[in-house]
Structure 1
Amino acid sequence: MNILIALLLFLLPVLLLLSWRRRGSSRKLPPGSLGIPVIGQSIGLLRAMRTNTGEKWVRERARKYGPISKLTLFGKPTVFIHGQAANKFVFHGDGSMVANKQTSSVRAILGDRNLLELGDQDHKRVRDSFMSFLRPESLKQYVGKMDGEVREHIELHWQGKEKVSVLPLMKILTFNIICSLLFGVEERAEREKFLKNFQEMIEGMWSIPVKLPFTRYNRSLRASSRVQSMLKELVQKKKVKLEQCAATPHQDLITCLLSKRNEGNERAVTDKEILHNIMLVMVAGHDTSSVLITFMLRLLSKNPAVYEAVLQEQEDIARSKNSGEPLAWEDLARMKYTWRVAMETLRMVPPIFGGFRLALKDIDYGGYLIPKGWQIFWASNMTHMDEVIFPEPAKFDPARFENQLSVPPYSFIPFGGGPRICPGNEFARIETLVAIHHLVTQYSWELCSDDHYIRDPMPVPSQGLLLRIAPKKQK
């Protein structure tokens, strides 16, 4: 009897395993290798991005393994999925199955209460508070102020110069716009102090999370701590001004968030959420817009017919203004062709290479198992450069966006998609159009650097896109 019980106890796990396998192939892991624990394929991907072969790296992986594969990225087992259906799954999936979680390095540097980390209800609460400031109806009143920031930037950094390195200058411009409009920081010395620490902070966001003194990750963590201390002080000052009625609720994004109340008259957004989301806005608004403006200038210089069409549209607007009169909301509405050029730039050179989600439970996807706790990785270029979706994808053709309805859903994703689309996309549109207006109407330029760029993790053109510039005679 004892032998029979022992035999049953031995055979039971085997029988259960065989039964589990017979339930179907939907429970098998995707093809691919997890590689070395923690490191996995992280070094290979980062090396490919820094040699401008990141797109080739993910496409070769897709050709080898198909629409889903497993690997290890930035310390965690990961599943790579791609295509329109994958994008829809990522951006519009069931919130009980997939969470909006980033890599551990991003989470450690930006904090765990930003919009990239929050679940459904918390995400909606914080996003709604953000949108009360970032919706078009609210941003209309800030076009003139943004125009002033661009004019001042050109006067300080472009006038009298024969050559300029565009990307570093655009990063200064977009950071100053963020400081002014979103944070209410007007003193140049305070802005420069923020910028120095901020730039060091973002260098290690896509990195292997090894906290050793010589790593980029460790340097970024230390810079993040300094930035958070500065922001805490800034938020506290704004709290005091609101209490003393020395500031208005919509003076800037921080005062707006501090002023938001729920139905019980309690703060809608906590101090920690304000702090972490300010850091997210700093990263998103600083890097994405500066990259977009830079690569628009690069692509305009290589496509004369497109440049002439943009120039004509912008000069028509300039001629309708009095001397020194700032741009207004109505002027932006006339920049339809220029924004199509911007969207085609975003298609060909998306600032965000890809992103991550977290499986909250075991998921059957494409005939395979995505285990609970694994990362889900997606890459923008997989649909942006798909010749079935965008014929001749290597050709720069703004006409693709003449009719937005002709672009298939979840195929063009520079700002994400679905309920988690970037809340700052309208802000980015405004600052891009205002900057391009002044640059194309005030200067002509030609490329002085080669045509290469790398990703670190954002696109960085050779020599920061070095241009020889010449001021135009004002008509």
Structure 2
Amino acid sequence: MDNILLAALLFLIPILMFLKGTKKTSYSLSSTTTTVPPGSMGIPIIGQSLGLLRAMRANTAEQWIQERVNKYGPISKLNLFGKPTVFMYGPAANKFIFTSNMVANEPSKSTRMILGDRNLLMLKGEEHKRLRGAILPFLKTESLKRYVGKMDEEVKMHLDMYWHGKQEVKVMPLMKTLTFDIICSLLLGVERGKLRYELLECFEPMMEGMLSIPINLPFTRYNRSLKESSKIQKLLKQIVQKKQNELIKNQNNTSFEQDLITSLLGMKVEEGKQVMNEKEIIQNIMLLMVAGHDTSAVLLTFLVRLLANEPDIYASLLQEQEEIAETKLPGESLTWEDLTKMKYTWRVAYETLRLFPPVFGNFRMAARDIEYEGYLIPKGWQIFWVSAMTHMDNNIFPEASNIDPNRFENQSSIPPYSFIAFGGGQRLCPGIEFAKIETLVAIHYLVTRFTWKLLCADNFFKRDPMPVPTQGLPIQISPRKVYEKSL
């Protein structure tokens, strides 16, 4: 597919260049520095996009980045996904990217076109503050405590449907199913059935084009993702309108434990005006679906993989979970208090995120001309950050390639803006607690109900754009005898 795309683009480039004429990218030089970082911009429009995508799919993206660092240093220019870009790395660079008011959030064009322009990723200033203020209360710890039982119910139902009675399963597809079911339940308030299935059928192909070259031709991932995005928005519009009608009919009889859509619809400001309009609700729900689906599925999949490969870590984690399980009556759900005892399990999750971050990197945008480390970053240029560059730095994490969950026993000892699996600063992922509860509940039931071993010996994974293990990580599973006796 890459070869076909490259051939098509090479055919189109002369036409596009002719239509654009000879006009070059321009920017005002408000800074005294006029030198942009070193590096090559590559082929017009394409730049280094195909090279990065190929490296990600071959699981050599870190080496691809390191070669640039070796050649140009820790800051360099390139062309990614149709835009001039500056790559930079290191804790200081991460802090600058995540906290500076000179840097704006700027997802790739493909992401913007697929998710829309009225969600938290796209908006800035007061509009961003308004939307974040509406969504964040639902995702705070105090609110999520009420939903532990709902997540517990979804996880147990999932295991009963897809794991019990099986000898072999593929972990990655099942974890995607689990996280999607949790999202549908807690964020959308959509129960199992036809509508969930329709959403899932559109959602996975939409995700495939989130990081793609934004050329809208019939055979591209980008084209297909745009079509699936449109279908999802229509389905979500139906859900929103249905819940709006239900709120009008039952104004005085709304459930305390509402899904996020109902919560957002019920929020009012002065004069009865809704905090978020229909378009904003739909696009922000889509954003949260994307943020909470593959990322959590990747974490859970690689946790299963890590526990299969590391018997000592598995034994310590199992001991912690068994101690909690012994305090529960048959069929009794986990509580928030149970989750607070899973400290070692969460350290294992953090170490998994350090080694296998779901998001390889992302983009910001220079909101104005920026002088950084003696170079000019022109207004409107993308700024590209990569999590693995600090996660695997031996100066920050000694023997970084070794697996050691106890690195996170004292998190204050880790230099700020070095572990960035959840971003940082003002753009810190608002769904951290949601992901934590989801992960801890799922791992509790997996390790207390099953044992497993890997059926693939190569341990290979590609990024497409998130990590995907060989064959979806097939494992052989057996019910734990302790669990069978309790039934």
Pairing 1:121-270 to 2, within 5 Å after superposition: 121-245=126-250, 247-248=254-255, 250-263=257-270, 265-270=272-277
Instruction: Tell me if structure 1 keeps the 8 A contact 2:46–2:79.
Output: yes
Tell me the CA shift for residue 248 of structure 1. Answer: 3.9
Tell me the CA shift for residue 263 of structure 1. Answer: 4.4
1:78 paired residue among 78, 81, 85: 85
1:421 paired residue among 409, 428, 449: 428
Unaligned runs of 5+ in 1: 1-19
Larger Cα Rg: Structure 1 or Structure 2? Answer: 1
User: How many equivalent pairs are there?
Assistant: 452
How far apart in 2 are the matches of 1:116 and 1:62?
28
1:455 paired residue among 443, 451, 463: 463
Instruction: Tell me if structure 2 keeps the 8 A contact 1:40–1:72.
Output: yes
1:374 paired residue among 381, 385, 392: 381
Pairing 1:317-356 to 2, within 5 Å after superposition: 317-356=324-363
How far apart in 1 are the matches of 2:397 and 2:118?
37
Q: What's 1:54 paired with?
A: 61
Instruction: Tell me if structure 2 keeps the 8 A contact 1:241–1:247.
Output: no
Instruction: Tell me if structure 1 keeps the 8 A contact 2:55–2:61.
Output: yes
How far apart in 2 are the matches of 1:272 and 1:91?
27
Instruction: Tell me if structure 2 keeps the 8 A contact 1:49–1:454.
Output: yes
- One-letter code of the match for 1:158? W
Tell me the CA shift for residue 267 of structure 1. Answer: 1.6
Aligned CA distance change for structure 1 residues 286 and 262 (closer, same or farther; 3 Å) = same
How far apart in 2 are the matches of 1:289 and 1:27?
43
Q: What's 1:444 paired with?
A: 451
How far apart in 2 are the matches of 1:389 and 1:286?
30
How far apart in 2 are the matches of 1:249 and 1:283?
26
Pairing 1:278-293 to 2, within 5 Å after superposition: 278-293=285-300
Deviation per CA, 1:414-455: give whole Å up to 9, x if none: 111112111111000000000000000000000111200000
- One-letter code of the match for 1:67? P
How far apart in 1 are the matches of 2:271 and 2:313?
54
- One-letter code of the match for 1:465? L
2:114 paired residue among 109, 124, 134: 109
Instruction: Tell me if structure 2 keeps the 8 A contact 1:346–1:414.
Output: yes
Instruction: Tell me if structure 1 keeps the 8 A contact 2:212–2:222.
Output: yes
- One-letter code of the match for 1:373? G
The 10-residue stretch of structure 1 (49-58 or 243-252) with the greater mean CA deviation from structure 2: 243-252
Q: What's 2:123 paired with?
A: 118
Instruction: Tell me if structure 2 keeps the 8 A contact 1:205–1:220.
Output: yes
How far apart in 2 are the matches of 1:204 and 1:249?
37
How far apart in 1 are the matches of 2:113 and 2:256?
30
Deviation per CA, 1:153-207: give whole Å up to 9, x if none: 0011001111110000000000000000111000322111100100011111110
Tell me the CA shift for residue 462 of structure 1. Answer: 0.6
How far apart in 1 are the matches of 2:278 and 2:91?
37
2:453 partner SS: strand
Q: What's 2:441 paired with?
A: 434
1:303 paired residue among 298, 310, 322: 310
Q: What's 1:28 paired with?
A: 35
Instruction: Tell me if structure 2 keeps the 8 A contact 1:71–1:80.
Output: yes
Instruction: Tell me if structure 2 keeps the 8 A contact 1:361–1:373.
Output: yes
2:241 partner SS: helix
Q: What's 1:464 paired with?
A: 472
How far apart in 2 are the matches of 1:371 and 1:249?
49
- One-letter code of the match for 2:214? P
Instruction: Tell me if structure 2 keeps the 8 A contact 1:133–1:250.
Output: no
Deviation per CA, 1:331-361: give whole Å up to 9, x if none: 0000000000000000000001111011121
Q: What's 1:312 paired with?
A: 319
The 10-residue stretch of structure 1 (328-337 or 186-195) with the greater mean CA deviation from structure 2: 186-195
Q: TM-score, normalised by structure 2?
A: 0.91
2:173 partner SS: helix
Deviation per CA, 1:390-412: give whole Å up to 9, x if none: 00000010000001111111000
The 10-residue stretch of structure 1 (349-358 or 55-64) with the greater mean CA deviation from structure 2: 55-64
- One-letter code of the match for 1:272? K
Tell me the CA shift for residue 122 of structure 1. Answer: 1.5
The 10-residue stretch of structure 1 (132-141 or 258-267) with the greater mean CA deviation from structure 2: 258-267
How far apart in 1 are the matches of 2:204 and 2:373?
40
Pairing 1:61-100 to 2, within 5 Å after superposition: 61-94=68-101, 97-100=102-105
How far apart in 1 are the matches of 2:309 and 2:332?
31
1:27 partner SS: coil
How far apart in 1 are the matches of 2:268 and 2:415?
38
- One-letter code of the match for 1:242? L
- One-letter code of the match for 2:277? T
- One-letter code of the match for 2:413? S
Instruction: Tell me if structure 2 keeps the 8 A contact 1:249–1:255.
Output: no
Pairing 1:404-419 to 2, within 5 Å after superposition: 404-419=411-426
Q: Which runs of 4+ in 1 moved over 2 A?
A: 246-250, 261-266
Percent of aligned pairs sharing the same letter: 61
Aligned CA distance change for structure 1 residues 341 and 42 (closer, same or farther; 3 Å) = same
Instruction: Tell me if structure 1 keeps the 8 A contact 2:147–2:257.
Output: no
